[in-house]
Structure 1
Amino acid sequence: MSGSLWLGGKEGQDTLPFIPRQRPPTPPADDPLAQLAQRFEDLAAVAVHPDEIAAILESDGMTDAQIRADYGHRDSFSLAEELYRRVARRHPAAPAPPREPWHTHLGSCLLRGLVFALPGLAYVLGAPLLAGPSAEFGLPAGTMALLAGTVTGWVWNQSLSHRAHSWLSLADRPAAVRALRVGAPLGAALSALSAVAASGPGELSAAAFAAGQCCYLAAATALLVLGRERPLFWALSPLTLGFVPGLPAAAGPLLLLVSLIAAVTLAVVTLRREEAGSRPRGAVSPPLSTSVPYGLFGLGAGVLVLYAALGDIFRHGSTGTVAGPSAVALTLSMGPAEWLLHRFRARSLAGLRTTSTARGFRGSVCATVVLCLAAYLLLLAGLAEAGSGLWPGAPALGGLRLATLLLIGAVLWTGLLLQSFGAATGAAVVCCAAAGAQTLALLVGAPPAAGPVVSGSAAVLLAALVCALLGRATAHRP
């Protein structure tokens, strides 16, 4: 082509002209000190003290007698001072700071938040399937089936997700795929059977709804572990059509079925396309026991989220399904919560570089926890306020309801923070204890103020664990 240069041609055939490299002038032979300065120029130029040059001279084998005979100086230190004076300083530029390992895009976290929250619309579209007389304790029809299937699915899928991520952390994606291929269908079957077993007479449609929800949870777990948030979002998009004005009542269950089939099909196709292979002989597996605390944390967190929805029913006499603006706000906030967890990790690493004492670093970590938690709770309050205004028949966001929701949010975020650092056992114990106390308070008819007391106590315990465990510099180093 015209104007192009071919650098691989022979001499004289479209080659670039040779430009000789500029070489420093050679010192005269009668000046051995200048020759020595040129020989050690690169090393002497970056020295910050003559003693560094003296050490270089001694390591080169120069003796004091040789130095006196050849260079006219009494010893290596005197010669080093002369070289330090002759050679100009050329300290190398400071290396660029490493790329932040905990950087993540807010958009991807918001997408995950939408994926977490969109299934809440299924309770609105599936209202005809959940219609009927009230169940035990004045709960809406089909609640026990939904609770049994959902809680079982949360426990199983949290454990399965941790198991698959453990394989991914070992750079063994085929093993993670094998775990999902076996665990996801098994979890869907177990949770669906739990839902059917907990359903009462005349609740066949509610049991079918709960079983479909269990299948969706298993499919979503596999897709989220493998990083397929965007396709899952499109599989859930038919649910948004439920708010189209004038939509027939029968269209709701149909949209649910379409979305469920899309999610399950997408999960099956994704797992079949992934390379699973066979497990090498002698390969070391992550212990199964390490996934148990994550499942228990899923149990406690799931019950607390359900309590946020059930509390409105007991306190305000709301009717309908167990889902509501409080539960949707909590699930929708999980996306920004994940982003704030990454920001905490990034700011903590920055604190390691900017603080010089253990006390200073502990104070930096505590300040970062307060900042990130406050940002999360403000966002959660905004989502709850918006949901209360948009959700049909939702109670007003009163002081007690808002306090309970924010305290549950504080429990979830601090628990997730501990879990992200591997301290899942403490987070699981506190969350499960709080969930058990909340359930007991509902069953015995405790006053509404018992909810904030339980959640507040759990939040204080988790905050103390965060400061005690994460205030140490060793917890933040790889």
Structure 2
Amino acid sequence: MSGSLWLKPGATRDSLPQIPRQRDTEAGADPAPPGLPARNPYGSGPRPEAAALAPSGTAPAVAALVCPVPPPAGHLAPDPLDELADRLDALAATAVHPDEIAAILESDGMTDDHIRLVYGRADSFALAEDLYARTERRHPAPEPTAAGPWHTGLAACLLRGVVFALPGLAYVLGAPLLAGPGRYGLPPGTVPLFAGAVTGWVWNQALAHRAYTWLGLGDRAAAVRALVTGAPAGALAGAAVAVAAAGPGERPAAVFGAGQALYLAAATVLLVLGRERALLVALSPLAGAVPAFRYDLPEPLRVALLLLSLAATTGFAALVLRPHRPGGLARGRGGPPLARSLPYGLFGLGSGLLVLYAGADAVIALTLSMGPAEWLLHRFRAAGLARLRLLTTADEFRRAVTGALAGCLGGYLAVLLVLTVAAALLWPGAAAVSAPRIASLLLVGAVLWLGLLLQAYGAVASASVVCLLAAAAQGLAQAFAPAAGPLAAGAAAAALCVLTRVLLVRPTAHRV
């Protein structure tokens, strides 16, 4: 705000009784009668006429207090609330609930004692209700969609969905590297791949949050600094965990896991800095895995395609970061606390585990659906901002946001359903399409989309807890009661629906 709303009280701290004042409701009040100077409201200085009417021997300054001259007939003292209403007119006219005005008053330091002394109201909420009642609602027309802060093109989001899904072809090419004995009832080579992937998800989700925070603050150089130091560290951590988790006969899988860790770090750099097209070019050699669905490709060709894609991804990331080496940069601000990025890493862990439990064909459908999911997230945020400008009451806003939430979630689940059926029909060895399986996958999709939505609004801690609990329940169900898997996903989806409904129907949640 351009100026403070806090009017400092006088030097005395004694409590004064509330004195009701009459408002100057007549906009065109008559001037002072002839023979008297202009009226000075609330006695801001004694008038000479007051001293003339005082008892003899009384000082002029005291005389104005002893025998004040009553205001001329037809004149009412002005209400200071009128002046405050004029000053807050633009803010109060766009509010959809008095609590928004109360938050503005409190954030500017206006205390209840000051409100009782100056405005004769009990507290900031009572004062906000008066301001809300006397101000006409004047919501500006919504900006064009292209100019909105949360507008994004569908093509860009679909591109990101393809980029998310293409790395799955690497596992088709690398299948011969995963041969060997299996452990814990899992397929061969799964343990080192799983350990390295989990490490990469946690690290890179937290790193991406930190870099995006810098970008949101307008400091791209600081975001690049975070990626320069964080991406190599994440690649080393993921590779080390994959190698350490490898058992006898799983060394090729450990090497594959180390390459996976390097790819995750490089892809994080390119995605955060908006180089999706470069990443798509780098992943194009993986399209050579399509013939592998039917034919047995030579192992050297498989390894060459994997190495070519990995080298291209790493090279593009290095080119993006090359002008920003740590030694040549000035130290920036301290930035957000590291602990603030931890919930984002935990959310990456929980959502990644849920996707893995769904199966290979479901992984393809879920990763491809992330592009439309991102677009629908942007659409929901843009819709919330538009309704914040248009609607005049909190009830109307609550109903409109609930409808937008249901529409976006339903649209995402419809896209996921189509992709699930297509992946089940095209992916070799996919599980048969059945109503329980589709229902379970749609519940997992609802958990992921609602969790991403809460994360976008800053409620990442709640989303992380629910996703981690759902992933743990899914793991237990896989081991002991496979039929209970959909129940865990359904409970998580219901919990996130309630959280989203409670948090996002408030107008203050959509302020940017």
TM-score higher than 0.5 here?
yes
* 1:428 and 2:460 matched: no
Change beyond 3 A, Cα 1:449–1:166: same
Q: Secondary structure at the match of 2:358?
A: helix
Residue in structure 1 matched with residue 151 of structure 2 by the alignment? 103
The aligned residue for residue 298 of structure 2 is: 249
Hey, what does 1:407 align to over in structure 2?
Answer: 443
Residue 185 (structure 1) aligned with residue 232 (structure 2): yes
Query: Residue in 2 aligned with 1:360?
Result: 396
Aligned to 1:290: 340
SS at match of 1:136: coil
Q: What is aligned with 1:278?
A: 329
Partner residue, 1:472: 506
Unaligned runs of 5+ in 1: 1-50, 66-93, 310-323
Q: For residues 161-211 of structure 1, what are the alpha-carbon distances to aligned partners after superposition, in whole Å with 9 as ceiling and x for unaligned?
A: 001111111111111111111110100111111111111110111111111
**In the alignment, is the contact (CA less than 8 A) between 1:414 and 1:466 conserved in 2?**
yes
CA distance, structure 2, for counterparts of residue 181 and residue 440 of structure 1: 38
| Alpha-carbon distance in 1 for matches of 2:433, 2:199 | 30
**Would the alpha carbon gap of residues 185 and 280 (structure 1) be closer, same or farther in structure 2, given more than 3 Å must change?**
closer
In the TM superposition, residue 278 of structure 1 has moved relative to its aligned partner by: 3.0
User: For residue 145 of structure 1, what is the aligned residue in structure 2?
Assistant: 192
**In structure 1, C-alpha distance between the alignment counterparts of 2:408 and 2:262, rounded to whole Å:** 34
How many residue pairs get aligned? The number is: 381
Over the aligned positions, Cα root-mean-square deviation in angstroms equals 2.5
Amino acid at match of 2:329: S
* 1:261 correspondence with 2:297: no
Amino acid across the alignment from 2:407: L
CA–CA distance in structure 1, aligned partners of residues 331 and 303 of structure 2: 45
The Cα offsets for residues 380-404 of structure 1, whole Å up to 9 and x where unpaired, read as 1111111111111112121221111
Asked if structure 2 preserves the Cα contact closer than 8 Å seen for 1:414 and 1:462, the reply is yes
Distance in 1 (alpha carbons) for counterparts of 2:325 and 2:396: 48
Between the aligned partners of 1:101 and 1:64, the Cα distance in structure 2 is 57
1:131 equivalent among 179, 199, 214: 179
1:328 paired to 2:379: no
Quote the Cα distance in structure 2 between the aligned partners of 1:363 and 1:288: 37
Aligned pair partner of 1:304 in 345, 350, 354: 354
Counterpart of 2:496 in structure 1 is: 462
- Matched residue type, 1:256: L
Confirm or deny: 8 A CA contact 1:400 1:449 kept in the other structure. no
Candidates 422, 427, 433, aligned match of 1:397? 433
Matches for 1:27-38 after TM superposition, within 5 Å: none
Please give the residue correspondences for 1:112-131 in structure 2 after superposition, counting only pairs within 5 Å. 112-131=160-179
Deviations 1:12-33 (A, max 9, x none): xxxxxxxxxxxxxxxxxxxxxx
- Deviation of residue 153 (structure 1)? 0.3
> Given residue 209 of structure 2, which amino acid in structure 1 is its aligned partner?
H
Name the aligned partner's letter for residue 111 of structure 1: L
Distance 1:285 1:359 in 2: 38
Instruction: Give the conservation status (yes or no) of the 8 Å contact 1:441–1:450.
Output: yes
Q: Is the 8 A contact 1:175 1:279 kept in 2?
A: no
Q: Which residue of 1 aligns with 2:254?
A: 207
Tell me, in whole angstroms, the C-alpha distance in 2 between the residues paired with 1:123 and 1:63: 90
CA–CA distance in 2 between the matches of 1:173 and 1:385? 41
Distance 1:207 1:275, change over 3 A: closer
Alignment of 1:444-459 (within 5 A): 445-446=480-481, 448-459=482-493
Q: CA deviation at 1:132?
A: 2.5
- 2:247 partner SS: coil
For residues 140 and 424 of structure 2, the distance between their equivalents in structure 1, rounded to whole angstroms, comes to 52
**AA partner of residue 183 (structure 2):** A
CA distance in structure 1 between the aligned counterparts of 2:325 and 2:271, rounded to whole angstroms: 17
Contact 1:362 1:467 in 2 (8 A): no
Taking the aligned partners of 2:374 and 2:508, their CA distance within structure 1 comes to 22
Distance 2:355 2:407 in 1: 23
CA distance in 1 between partners of 2:198 and 2:465 (Å)? 16
CA distance 1:377–1:96, shift in 2 (3 Å): closer
Which residue does 2:376 correspond to in 1? 340
Deviation at 1:360, TM superposition (A): 2.0
For 1:292 and 1:95, the matched residues in 2 are separated by 39
Which one-letter code corresponds to 1:114 in the other structure? V
Once the 2 structures are TM-superposed, how far is the Cα of residue 359 of structure 1 from its aligned partner? 2.1
1:248 counterpart letter in structure 2: L
Structure 2: distance between partners of 1:128 and 1:280: 46
Q: Is the 8 A contact 1:177 1:275 kept in 2?
A: no
Report 1:58-77 matches (<5 A): none
What SS does the aligned partner of 2:187 have?
A: coil
Alpha carbons 2:361, 2:427 under 8 Å: kept: yes
- d(CA) in 2 for partners of 1:192 and 1:284? 29
Distance 1:143 1:280, change over 3 A: closer
Shift of 1:96: 6.7
Cα distance between partner residues in 1 of 2:377 and 2:141 = 25
1:164 maps onto 2:200 in alignment: no
Cα distance between partner residues in 2 of 1:371 and 1:163:
31
- How far apart in 2 are the matches of 1:169 and 1:436? 33
Retained in 1: the 8 A contact 2:141–2:389? no
The offset of 1:248, in angstroms, is 2.6
Between the aligned partners of 1:470 and 1:383, the Cα distance in structure 2 is 28
What is the identity, as a one-letter code, of the residue corresponding to 1:298? G
Q: What does residue range 25-64 of structure 1 map to in structure 2 within 5 Å?
A: none
Structure 2 CA distance for aligned equivalents of residues 132 and 376 of structure 1: 39
